[in-house]
Amino acid sequence: MANSPDSKALDFMINHVFLPPQLPQEDDSEAGYLNTTIRAFRDSVECFLSAEPSSAPSVRPAVDMLDRLLSTETRGMHHVISDLKNGGIALFHLRAQNAGLLVTARQDDVLFEAFELLAPNDKVMSCLGALLREFPDRAAVITYARLQDPDFLSELANFIQTLTASNVPVARPKVKKAKTFQPEERDTVSPLLMNGMLIDLLSGLGESVAPLSRVTKRSREHVGWSSALLPFHRCATWLLLRVALRLVLDRAAAAGVGGETS
């Protein structure tokens, strides 16, 4: 790893990756910690690639995907998406929508796959073990030619970028307080704007399809709070990375691309 994380970032990664017995009881997420987690994950995949050069055909696209994710803040979604060529994959974390978006360029079309990240609090707290979940949720394809239209690409990238930071009250669960229903800030957001509106819009411009493949994960999620405004949730970024890597490697294996995955 080129730069070792500082002690606070390291504590953050230990808590969210390994879920030790003594976890924070309030929200501890910071953008810097999330980016450090992505870089550490990316460097780990790169280290595996260095140790197993024969895996390059299947693993290199995953490293490139993670590089694109890290470069999104500086380059912008518009440039990341426009640079995708046949076989290229881009991953986006729409934090405000509690959603991940996987974009895969193919020979004649571009596949968009959306999925929820953090499960609702009630599902997590009522589960005695790990939640059994499938990813992605929904998908749509548009022609590659349409994506090359600069006006369309600009509108699409701006729309997705807006969703990245937009808090929409209708997407948050409600709780009754003082005889009125108010947004429950401690619960997770429904990804309805991603799984619903965005995929529906893309389907109207192209075609609604089933995800190329799905992965089933036993997801160990955690919610906890004590005397805090916002609770501790296991890092959605960590789940995003694991799901995306698994999808990329499984699909490479299914396509007969060289190298082994596990």
pLDDT digits (tens, 9 = 90+) for 54-86: 999 999 999 999 999 999 988 889 999 999 999
Domain for residue 134, yes or no?
A: yes
Per-residue pLDDT band at 259 (split at 50, 70, 90)? low
- Phi and psi based region of residue 179 (left: phi greater than 0; alpha: psi -120 to 50; beta: remaining): left
Question: Residue 12 half-sphere exposure, CB side, CA atoms within 13 Å?
Answer: 24
Give me the mean pLDDT over the 93-108 stretch. 95
List pLDDT tens digits, range 115-145.
999 888 778 777 777 888 999 999 999 999 9
Helix, strand, coil percentages for the chain (3-state, nearest 5) = 50, 20, 30
Task: Report the alpha-carbon distance of residue 228 to residue 185 in Å, rounded.
Answer: 12
Q: How many domains does the chain have?
A: 1
The region of weakest confidence among 77-86, 104-113, 163-172, 176-185 is: 176-185
Residue 70 maps to a domain: yes
CA proximity to 205, closest of 129, 117, 141: 141
Measured CA to CA, the distance from residue 226 to residue 25 in angstroms comes to 5
pLDDT at 261: 46
User: Which has the higher per-residue pLDDT, 33 or 111?
Assistant: 111
Residue 16 covered by a domain: yes
pLDDT attached to residue 262: 42
- Residue 155: predicted pLDDT: 95
121 vs 16 pLDDT, higher one: 16
Range of the domain at 58: 7-254
- Give me the residues paired with residue 163 across strands: none
pLDDT at 104 over 50: yes
Domain presence at residue 259: no
- pLDDT confidence tier of residue 89, bands split at 50, 70 and 90: very high
DSSP assigned state of 3? S
**pLDDT tens, 209-252?**
999 999 998 877 767 766 667 778 788 999 999 999 999 999 99
| CA dihedral sign, ordered 86, 87, 93, 98 | positive
Give the residue-averaged pLDDT of 194-219: 94
If one counts every other C-beta atom within 10 angstroms of the C-beta of residue 169, the result is 9
- 14 within some domain: yes
Asked whether residue 227 is assigned to any structural domain, the reply reads yes
Of 81-90, 94-103, 179-188, 217-226, the range with the lowest mean pLDDT is 179-188
User: Residue 51: is its pLDDT beyond 60?
Assistant: yes
Higher local confidence (pLDDT), 204 or 183: 204
Residue 2: which pLDDT band, with cuts at 50, 70 and 90?
low
What is the pLDDT at residue 239? 94
How much is the pLDDT for 20?
A: 84
pTM over 0.85: yes
Residue 83 lies in a domain: yes
Q: What is the pLDDT averaged over residues 177-182?
A: 66
- Categorize the per-residue pLDDT at 207 as very low, low, confident or very high, splitting at 50, 70 and 90: very high
53 secondary structure, DSSP code: G
What span, in angstroms and rounded, lies between the C-alpha atoms of 258 and 18?
A: 31
- Count other C-beta atoms under 10 Å from residue 222's C-beta: 15
The answer to the question of residue 28 being in a domain is: yes
Residue 126 is predicted with a pLDDT of: 74
Percent with pLDDT over 70 in the chain: 87
